[in-house]
Structure 1
Amino acid sequence: MTTQDKNVERASKLDTATLSDALDKLGIVGQCHKIKARSTEFRTAGRAFTIKYGPASNPPGTVGDFIDDVPAGSMIVLDNNGREDATVWGDIMTEIAHRRGIAGTVINGVCRDVALCLKLGYPVFSRDHWMRTGKDRVQVEATNVPVNIGEARVQPGDILRGDADGVIVIPKEHEDAVLDAAETIHRAEEAIREACRGGMRLDEARKQFKYHQLQTREQ
């Protein structure tokens, strides 16, 4: 994450649950279904650097020689069409990405060598993990093109936020509106917690701070 990117910084301070509620309020699909953190300790945010995969040709193409072109602070977003029989991320990629200051990796598919990402604290989010290589099974089709991650569309430069609850994508053209809405929701929920700590009933606090309207879709 770069200090100059204020919206990435704003997103990094908000939980995915709060961002999900903001997306619902605005009618935007950005929740990456079934994409999970390999560790509940992983929290990260950055702008998408996308890779689209397809089945390997004959002779097969490369699985992942793009790593040196990814800017520091980016989120690497790998769309392997949800495949769970062949990995597209492993320990070499984790080590290099960690060393280069990349924010994390999100995979519509599976990774392997989970022990190293846990050891280094490098955030990886995927459908699952399994050991079988993608070499000679899948190949890179395109770089920095629109991809699909858990039923959510991701375009290069979109903000991704990941934490223990999963991954959210915030479309670039809507990021100010989404972040404004999420910050409003966050402030209201903090006010409800504080009121309850002071002795107010939960139903009264929710009514006072309009909790039940926070996620209602705007007309």
Structure 2
Amino acid sequence: MSDPFVQRLRRLDACAVSDALDKLGLAGAVTGIPQRSGPDHGGGRIAGRAVTMKVGPGERPPGPPVHLGCSAIGLAGPDHVIVVEQRSGVEAGCWGGLLTLGAKVRGVEGVVADGPLRDVDEAIAYGFPVFSRSLTSRTARGRVVELGTQVPVQIGEVQVQPGDYVLADRSAVLFIAAADIARVLEAAEGIVAKEAAMAKAILAGTPIAEVMGGNYEHMLQKDS
């Protein structure tokens, strides 16, 4: 059964949720990770719960060797977003074409990578949403390894825990702790309702300065 919080989150845009985070004094917004692929070659919103993966130089964890990304894909499915940290400074792909296909087949909502994406044309061809910090042709082989799956990862200035909620669109990528999701959704839905009423007033001919003056400036004040 689909997570009802994910369903509600999917109906909201990143700016409304970012405003809700501001209103509640919470961090979580990350910019500079644009969408590289999707159903219309870069459009569309994704939402889900984070399955995390950390990639960088070093030694793989002990145990049978598993190709980078396969463990995360095996744990993920509908209502999940795979979130990858590759902030090592080494130019090497932390996600690529076969992984994209594997995630798509599993029904994963999309991938957010703070690091380089490889095989972007394949992701576009598959119509699968991937957000990444940069693009590269350079393989991970001999450069970086998977350091852990379902571990805390750093995306921008935000630390993301496995199971955190993720929302991403063309404006930003947002992360919301599971403990905060209910109040963030409530605040964001309230902001959307107020903005819809303001838009209706503008369409009805109310001068925009009158609509936005007091209403807009005080919208994010914390409730008493």
Q: Distance in 1 between matches of 2:26 and 2:90?
A: 27
Gaps of 5+ in 1: none
In the alignment, structure 1 residue 65 sits paired with structure 2 residue 70: yes
Give the superposition deviation at 1:217. Answer: 5.1
In the alignment, structure 1 residue 29 sits paired with structure 2 residue 27: yes
Gaps of 5+ in 2: none
Is 1:36–1:127's contact at 8 Å kept on the other side of the alignment? yes
Is 1:83–1:110's contact at 8 Å kept on the other side of the alignment? no
In the alignment, structure 1 residue 187 sits paired with structure 2 residue 185: no
In the alignment, structure 1 residue 129 sits paired with structure 2 residue 129: no
Using structure 2 for the length normalisation, give the TM-score. Answer: 0.89
Is 2:6–2:79's contact at 8 Å kept on the other side of the alignment? no
Give the superposition deviation at 1:112. Answer: 1.2
Give the superposition deviation at 1:198. Answer: 0.2
In the alignment, structure 1 residue 161 sits paired with structure 2 residue 167: yes
Give the superposition deviation at 1:178. Answer: 0.7
Q: Distance in 2 between matches of 1:57 and 1:84?
A: 15
Distance 1:191 1:119, change over 3 A: same
Is 2:70–2:99's contact at 8 Å kept on the other side of the alignment? no
SS in 1 for 2:200: helix
Is 1:84–1:110's contact at 8 Å kept on the other side of the alignment? no
Q: Distance in 1 between matches of 2:90 and 2:190?
A: 38
Give the superposition deviation at 1:207. Answer: 4.1
Is 2:152–2:160's contact at 8 Å kept on the other side of the alignment? yes
SS in 1 for 2:83: strand
1:50 to 39, 49, 52: 52
Letter in 2 for 1:19: V
Q: Distance in 2 between matches of 1:84 and 1:127?
A: 13
Identity %: 37
Using structure 1 for the length normalisation, give the TM-score. Answer: 0.91
Q: Deviations over 1:22-67 (max 9, x none)?
A: 1111111101231111144131111000111231339xx7433312
Q: Distance in 2 between matches of 1:183 and 1:51?
A: 31
Q: Deviations over 1:139-169 (max 9, x none)?
A: 1112111111111121111110111112111
SS in 2 for 1:97: helix
Q: Distance in 2 between matches of 1:23 and 1:217?
A: 11
Q: Distance in 1 between matches of 2:119 and 2:32?
A: 20
Q: Distance in 1 between matches of 2:130 and 2:18?
A: 20
Is 2:57–2:88's contact at 8 Å kept on the other side of the alignment? no
Residue number in structure 2 paired with 1:17: 15
Letter in 2 for 1:21: D
- Runs of 4 or more, structure 1, over 4 Å off, are none
Give the superposition deviation at 1:186. Answer: 0.6
2:101 to 95, 99, 109: 95
Give the superposition deviation at 1:114. Answer: 0.9
Letter in 2 for 1:125: F
Q: Distance in 2 between matches of 1:105 and 1:202?
A: 39
In the alignment, structure 1 residue 78 sits paired with structure 2 residue 84: yes
Is 1:50–1:76's contact at 8 Å kept on the other side of the alignment? yes
Tell me the matched-pair count: 215
Range moving further from structure 2, 91-100 or 114-123: 114-123
Is 2:90–2:143's contact at 8 Å kept on the other side of the alignment? no
Distance 1:45 1:82, change over 3 A: farther
Residue number in structure 2 paired with 1:212: 217
